[in-house]
Amino acid sequence: MDSQDASLSATEPTIDTQAVETMVVEETTYLSAGQVLDTLFPESDKTWQEGTLTASSPELQFHAVAGNPYFSVNGQYYYVPSQVIEKDGILFLPTESLAESLGCSLEEEPETGALRMQRSGSLPTSPTYPEEDLYWLSRAIYAEAGNQPMAGRIAVGTVILNRVAHESFPDTVREVIFAPGQFSPVENGTIYRTPDEESVVAAKLCLDGVREAEDCLYFNVTSIVSWADQSRTYVCTIGDHNFYL
């Protein structure tokens, strides 16, 4: 790094993660989102009400709700499988997800092991998605898993996108969904229902690369015995669905 780069880097806001409220959940360290925002974006207008934290400025639109398995920055969603956590009136988010969403790098102090979070990149901009892919993927997720937790919705979306990428299946989301005899919502017409917000978010997360159920190509409801139970390799159960390779 030359002297000019070093000078510019030194001017970027930095926060020692030991200086904010933390908690550990399943070996993942969570930080107080409000305190991080106060330090890195002091000019933003922050609101905390009934489990919802928002922050707004010309460059930042932040939104997180306690209990949700995701939060958003400038229209970009970030998956939090263990959910956004509220404790004692403080909203906590995983350190790495929070750093990524705010355009920050994480560096470990050699002597103390403490993490420093520094703004080092630009904030995300609202992503765009292939219109047809988002339209049909969100509807398939809603029709197949609209009563499931976010992990189950993402898992269904994962199966569809895995098929798109697999040589044995059609090459587009719509063609995969409408392949003869593959998805019951196509047969019963529920594929045409307007998806709820959670299903749209799940579809966007899937299109952004979030995956559940690994490389699975099939799933079925746990309450029935299907062809997949007899013919495919079982991988996992998420919510009310079994998933298979």
Q: Under DSSP, is residue 2 helix (H, G, I), strand (E, B) or coil?
A: coil
Indicate where the chain has its CATH 1.10.10.2520 domain(s): 131-244
- Give the ranges where 67-183 is alpha helix by DSSP (H): 95-101, 131-145, 150-165, 173-177
pLDDT given for residue 8 in this prediction: 39
Would you give per-residue pLDDT tens digits along the chain (245 residues)?
A: 444 444 334 456 788 888 899 999 988 999 999 999 999 999 999 999 999 999 999 999 999 999 999 999 999 999 999 999 999 999 999 999 999 999 999 988 777 777 888 888 889 999 999 999 999 999 999 999 999 999 999 999 999 999 999 999 999 999 999 999 999 999 999 999 999 999 999 999 999 999 999 999 999 999 888 888 899 999 999 999 999 99
CA dist., res. 157 & res. 210, Å (int): 10
Nearest-5° Cα angle at 73, 72 to 77: 40
Contact in structure between 24 and 82 (CB atoms under 8 Å): no
pTM assigned to the model: 0.91
Q: Which pLDDT score, from 0 to 100, does residue 121 have?
A: 84
Inter-residue contact 71 to 54 (CB < 8 Å): no
Residue 199 one-letter amino acid: S
Query: In terms of Cα–Cα distance, which of 27, 31, 28, 29 is closest to 19?
Result: 31
Residue 92 · residue 84 · CB < 8 Å:
yes
CATH class belonging to 131-244: mainly alpha
**In this predicted structure, what is the pLDDT of residue 209?**
97
Element (H, E) at 34: helix 33-40
Task: Give the residue among 152, 130, 153 at the shortest CA–CA distance from 203.
Answer: 153
State residue 19's pLDDT score: 84
**Domain 3-119 coded CATH 3.30.457.10:** yes
Q: Identify whether the C-beta of residue 133 lies closer than 8 Å to the C-beta of residue 207.
A: yes
The per-residue pLDDT for 9 is 44
Quick one: pLDDT at residue 119? 87
